[in-house]
Structure 1
Amino acid sequence: EMGRAAQPGAPQVPPVGSPELVRQMQDFWTDNLTLWQRFVDPAAAVPAPPQSEGDARDRRFKAAAWRDDPWFDWIRRSYNLIADHMLRGVDALEGVSDKQKEQLRFAAKGLVDAMSPSNFPLTNPEVVERTIATKGQNLLDGLKNMLADIGKGQLTHT
């Protein structure tokens, strides 16, 4: 049964048909389709919402290409949409103690941060631009640094 906990004290999985879960899924897909329409046919799409305060403060997306290039703008907005919905989903969980919700939010935030498109070379316009400018030397230098860190058994933080 979906609503039964695996262990005593574990959070309950909301029933698949719960009205709140259905509403959240509908909101996610509506937002996602609106974003996709804006990317595919900007002239016919609903105008993009203004940049959120949190998005404006996010240092990972400070380069102009994250907003000016339609591809990277779509990647950034898609990431923010998924991240926002994931974190709202944790906040909306019912039957979960505040402590468990805090733990779930911490884990979800860690996952969201790890999956940021700024962390991956092909989805980060700054890395793409630098790779073109250096003819890939930046990637070779990064690989050399990573192998040196592995050899030391310790990551170097920059």
Structure 2
Amino acid sequence: MDDIIALDIALRRNDDAWLEALLPSIRNQIDKMLYYGHFLCHQDYVLKPGVDPVMLKHEMWALLNARGARYPAEHNVGHLYPAGEPQAAHFRQLNPGNRLNPRIGHTSRNRCCPPLPFAALADRLHGIRADNAARSTSASAISTDGKVSSEG
């Protein structure tokens, strides 16, 4: 065994063919196939030695796309699956600064977007804390022996 491809697939609601018909060029690269889960949505493929798992996975995604399947079925895109445009737009809306989880769903790693809405609030809070710290320092006098005494 050299590598494994693990897929999480949702077939169309009215799909009768639950097991895929792999092209011989794909099937010849697979040693063992495992199907499990509620609707056989988890499909693992043990690859033969020397097979490029990334290239083979992309070939299998093309077959799934042609069948109208969706992936992932239940575990979200994470960093393994590309997000569709509606989902990527949702990520951009939730995280416009791209700081929380860059590259999720094969989106950009770049922080090319405007700052998050709460960044201004964080800056303002930092300014308030700095002002409070300055006030508390000016209200106290520190002697040369390190003792703090309040001005009265």
Aligning the two structures, in what range does the TM-score lie when normalised by the shorter sequence?
under 0.3
TM-score normalized by structure 1?
0.26
* TM-score, normalised relative to structure 2: 0.27
Structure with greater helix percent: 1
* Structure ID, larger Rg: 2
More strand by share: 2
